[in-house]
Structure 1
Amino acid sequence: MTGIELHSAAFSDHSTIPLRYSKDGENVSPPLTWSGVPDDTEELVLLCEDPDAPSGSFVHWLVTGIPPDSHGVDPGQAPPGTAFTNGFGDRGWDGPLPPVGDNAHRYIFHLYALPDRISLSGRPTAREVHRAIDRQGELASGTLVGLYQR
């Protein structure tokens, strides 16, 4: 399995996500770029989750059906595809908002290249997304981790 290179111009891997992209700030989705998507990819899936949330892994962003020939997304934009309802109950991106006083939470951006379209419905949890991808098998994936603390 090959790897997808996933980056953001707003923050580096394992560094702090700027206030602008949090719910404390402007709640703008961060810019993302990617490369290394395998030729036989049918769709890309973007998932951003907070595994450190008190209630368990919390979905901040889930988009499926992203065209495999896409290369990224600008700040405040969503990649083309189907945006799902996140853990806050909103469709699309909602930024970090960990409990005040917690240690920095990790916000893990996953980009998956899949050989077939994934089937999800309703308001899937991060665990359900991972299970669906595991059942299908991924061709490649990339990960970017941002940190945020209040």
Structure 2
Amino acid sequence: MAMTLISPAFAEGERLPDKHTRLGENLMPPLKWAGAPAGTRSFVLIVEDPDAPSGTFRHCGAFNIAASWEGLPESADTAPGGAPRFSRNDFGNGRYDGPQPPQGHGVHHYHFRLAALDVPSLAIPDVAGIEPMWNEARKHCLAEASLTGTYEVA
């Protein structure tokens, strides 16, 4: 069985609810996954928008997610104790920051990408940013799953 990633907040290709955007409550949507391969020792998650005017914009990077976890609750980036570590996103924050595309720029696609890793943790400083964290994670990737949501400001 291939690894899967879903959200109770939105289905594949659907619009993200306003509360999961910077124009709403800026809450990280809940996520659930299944089918991690044998040998998985941790997970990483990134959220990126390839439709941004200046190129791919990274909204979230979570790493050192325990292999025993089967998802992240809503607002996992602000949950006390046991929360994963977060890389600095392209807004400059070490947390999830939801969609905020330019008004009238059209539909943006937000790719939630989860990777199962063969190591229990990554020795990456939070300030390193999402791209270096993801590059390191890819060296240890056993499987990957994705979920895409959309958002547009008319």
State the 4+ residue runs in structure 1 displaced beyond 6 angstroms: none
Structure 2 residue 128 is matched with structure 1 residue 123: yes
Quote the residue 2:52 is aligned against.
Answer: 53
Structure 1 residues 46 and 24, CA gap change in structure 2 (3 angstroms): same
Quote the residue 2:146 is aligned against.
Answer: 143
Which amino acid counterpart does residue 97 of structure 1 have in structure 2? Q
Quote the residue 1:28 is aligned against.
Answer: 27
The number of equivalent residue pairs is 147
Structure 2 residue 136 is matched with structure 1 residue 132: yes
Which amino acid counterpart does residue 118 of structure 2 have in structure 1? P
Quote the residue 2:116 is aligned against.
Answer: 113
TM-aligned CA deviation for residue 91 of structure 1: 1.4
Quote the residue 2:103 is aligned against.
Answer: 100
Segments of structure 1 that go 5 or more residues without pairing to the other structure are none
> How far apart are the structure 2 equivalents of 1:80 and 1:36?
22
> How far apart are the structure 2 equivalents of 1:111 and 1:3?
12
Which amino acid counterpart does residue 31 of structure 2 have in structure 1? L
TM-aligned CA deviation for residue 124 of structure 1: 2.2
TM-score normalised according to structure 2 size: 0.87
Which amino acid counterpart does residue 148 of structure 2 have in structure 1? V
Structure 2 residue 10 is matched with structure 1 residue 7: no
What RMSD in Å do the two structures reach over aligned CA positions? Answer: 1.7
Which amino acid counterpart does residue 152 of structure 2 have in structure 1? Q
What's the secondary structure of 2:135's corresponding residue?
helix
Deviations 1:13-39 (A, max 9, x none): 111001110001111110100111123
TM-aligned CA deviation for residue 119 of structure 1: 4.2
> How far apart are the structure 2 equivalents of 1:63 and 1:125?
8
TM-score normalised according to structure 1 size: 0.89
Is contact 1:67–1:80 with CA below 8 Å preserved after alignment?
no
> How far apart are the structure 2 equivalents of 1:27 and 1:7?
19
Structure 1 residues 130 and 83, CA gap change in structure 2 (3 angstroms): closer
TM-aligned CA deviation for residue 118 of structure 1: 3.3
Segments of structure 2 that go 5 or more residues without pairing to the other structure are none
Which amino acid counterpart does residue 25 of structure 2 have in structure 1? E
What's the secondary structure of 1:3's corresponding residue?
coil
> How far apart are the structure 2 equivalents of 1:131 and 1:83?
15
